[in-house]
Amino acid sequence: MASRGWTVLEPNYRGTTVYGHAWQIAIRLDMGGVDTHDYAAGVEYLKNEGLADRIAVTGRSHRGYLTMICLTQFPAPWCGVSSRAIYELA
């Protein structure tokens, strides 16, 4: 997508293992809460910096779950949404 001129934001949302144990357990008992707000903060950054005006969200597995949560909690910024199933047949 970036090679076609799109701005791509791939948030490293809370709950991933990259930044240590505290970051990883930050979504405990709040899945779809703080991690969704990480996505929303990324969208606001793109808009405030003038990097994107039409924004789509997509994902599969947990990112697919976050895609649907973003659509329901923050419906305004999206011009497109795509969520892939958690389980795919081989």
Helix axes 34-48, 62-73, angle to 10 degrees: 70
In order along its 90 residues, the chain shows pLDDT tens digits of 778 878 888 877 787 777 888 888 888 888 888 888 888 898 899 999 999 888 888 887 778 888 888 888 888 888 887 877 555 544
Residue ranges of the domains in the chain?
Answer: 2-79
Contact 59, 32 (CB under 8 A): no
pTM for this entry:
0.72
> How far is 7 from 14, CA to CA, in rounded Å?
22
> How far is 37 from 45, CA to CA, in rounded Å?
12
> How far is 71 from 90, CA to CA, in rounded Å?
28
Question: Which amino acid belongs to residue 23?
Answer: W
